[in-house]
Amino acid sequence: MTNAKTPRPSRPKSGPSAKGRPSKAVGNNRPIKGKPASPKDEAITYQRVEAAPVSDKKERIAKVIARAGLCSRRDAERWIAEGRVKLDGKVLDSPAIVVGPENTIVVDGEPLPQPERARIWKYHKPKGQITAARDPEGRPTVFDNLPKDLPRLQPVGRLDYNSEGLLLFTNDGEIKRKMELPATGWTRRYRVRVHGTVEDQHIKALAEGMTIDGIHYAPIEAAISNQAKSNAWMTMSLQEGKNRELRRVCEHLGLVVNRLIRVSYGPFQLGEIPEGGIVELPYKLVRDQLGLPKEVPVEAPVKTGKGGKPLKTGKPGQGRKDTGKPGNAASAKGSGRPVSKPISKQGKPDTRKTTKSAPRNKRP
């Protein structure tokens, strides 16, 4: 009698479980733990941001220097005033000039480098950092603990000192500006914990928008995630990012924000990046979301010989070629030179004859 093996239960496929919980996504873009997103959130599509195409149009010289990654526009204007920039061999004293591809720009005696392709990083900003390159009050900034080998980065939008979560960085000022515009239509999503009891009237007031101290705030989509005795968690979404907007509208409704976490910015999710960690997004993802052009492969330079004629090179994967040098067995054959015999371990010529091994009998 044979013992039948008990079949192992198959693992459930990815997708909603019986309790309606979504499965975890794969990679660095996995959502953080919390209340699952609603089907309405899953179906949202985002408008692509068109990158500025490479053209022959003229631009202000400070903008061109900043795009090369040397400094900001403001610093570029200061460098020009200090006489550190030359245009076509002449020292500039005013930034009020436009340049094109035909102009030659030199900064501190070095030619202006070509701008690299647009890149985007995701950073998990912890609480207690200011989104600025430097702070007059000496507080920690988001740039203090970044790796030193990164290029000059610019934050996309801002998170205030006590906020945390997803903060995007880019090396392209034009991409930064377009991603920040409300006209882009990208939604910023937050998990917000407030002190107090959230009522339906609060949700309705947020959805209608409001004006506080002469400043109008656009409608905010909000939903209650969890209501405790003294605190409540909400998910809040908006398409513009005015200074301390969520904190001010909640305070206007009698709710005090004691924790604010940004979980997404447009199509980019915070995922499971550890606090203080930074991850660069794949260029294919950045290209698809921002409408960037495909990278043009750089061809290897052609080697030339005398008279400027290109040298013939072998194809990849071929073996060693005949160099015609002494000691090369391939070059010695047919050249009239003796072929050197192999040397044994004792230092004497190895006179043993090599025999071919008999073929193994194949199984029927």
- Write out the catalytic residue numbers: 160
Q: How far apart are CA 261 and CA 55, in angstroms?
A: 40
CA distance 271 to 277: 11
List alpha helices for the chain, DSSP H. Answer: 39-42, 61-67, 73-81, 173-180, 200-208, 245-252, 283-290, 329-332
Give the number of other Cβ atoms within 10 Å of residue 182's Cβ. Answer: 12
105-107/110-111 β-pairing:
antiparallel
- Enumerate the β-bridge partners of residue 166: 124
DSSP labels, 119-169: -EEEEEEPTT-BSSS--TT---BTTTTS-TTS---EEES---TT-EEEEEE
Sign of CA dihedral 320, 322, 325, 327: positive
Q: What is the rounded distance in angstroms from the CA atom of residue 178 to the CA atom of residue 52?
A: 9
- Is the dihedral angle over the CA atoms 167, 169, 173, 174 positive or is it negative? negative
- Closest Cα partner for 162 from 244, 271, 250? 244
How would you label 278-311 residue by residue, b for 16+ Cβ within 10 Å and e otherwise?
A: beebeeeebbebbebeeeeeeeeeeeeeeeeeee
Give the CA dihedral 319, 323, 329, 330, nearest 10 degrees: 60
Q: Is 227 helix (H, G, I), strand (E, B) or coil?
A: strand
